[in-house]
């Protein structure tokens, strides 16, 4: 298992180097979004309208951060459960999203989409939202401010820590872990 420092936006060549179990530190910008925001994005796609975010080479972090304390760009920013975005992820991969960050497993359709569109699913450590927020240097609402914490934000990150769960080759860290500790 390797360690990678990547800068957004990411290219196919960067994604090709990542394997399930690798540690990744992201510097650059991420977009945030959860269920409600994803639903709105897909409605725009279905209507043939322009999205409020740049998707090519980008990474979406599934998070609804808490309000920022004075002098801080963001509050606690722990990952939310990813399967709630599974129905939306393949469309966003097709449009150019190269990664998503959350917690928990993804369905088979998402895993196939990662292979087809050269993308990865990354996990941030659940329960470590306050610690994760220390790698976030700035945040601004880009779309859907009416959604409050679920609004789409563009966050500036420096060495944001993640682990590759699903790579573009079909690797699945959760499944590998289960096999390693299964008693037959």
Catalytic residues: 38
Alpha-carbon distance 109 to 21, whole Å? 21
Alpha-carbon distance 181 to 178, whole Å? 5
Residues whose CB is less than 8 angstroms from the CB of residue 172 and which lie 6 or more positions away in sequence, other chains included: 20, 111, 165, 166
Q: What angle do CA 84, 62, 81 make, to 5 degrees?
A: 45
Indicate if the alpha-carbon torsion angle 44, 45, 48, 51 is positive or negative. positive
Alpha-carbon distance 88 to 41, whole Å? 9
Taking alpha carbons only, the member of 22, 166, 51, 46 closest to residue 98 is 166
CA 150 centroid distance within chain: 14
């Amino acid at each position: 298992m390797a360690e990678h420092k990547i800068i957004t936006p990411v290219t196919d060549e960067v994604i090709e180097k990542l394997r399930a179990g690798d540690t990744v530190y992201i510097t650059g910008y991420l977009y945030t979004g959860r269920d409600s925001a994803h639903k709105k994005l897909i409605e725009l796609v279905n209507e043939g309208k322009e999205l409020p975010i740049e998707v090519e080479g980008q990474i979406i972090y599934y998070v609804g951060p808490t309000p920022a304390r004075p002098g801080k760009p963001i509050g606690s920013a722990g990952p939310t459960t990813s399967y709630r975005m599974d129905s939306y992820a393949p469309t966003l991969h097709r449009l150019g999203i190269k990664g998503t960050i959350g917690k928990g497993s993804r369905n088979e359709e998402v895993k196939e989409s990662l292979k087809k569109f050269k993308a990865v699913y990354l996990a941030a450590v659940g329960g470590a939202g306050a610690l994760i927020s220390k790698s976030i240097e700035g945040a601004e609402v880009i779309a859907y401010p009416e959604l409050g914490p679920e609004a789409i934000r563009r966050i500036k990150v420096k060495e944001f820590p993640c682990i590759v769960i699903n790579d573009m080759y079909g690797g699945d860290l959760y499944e590998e872990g289960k096999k390693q500790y299964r008693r037959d």
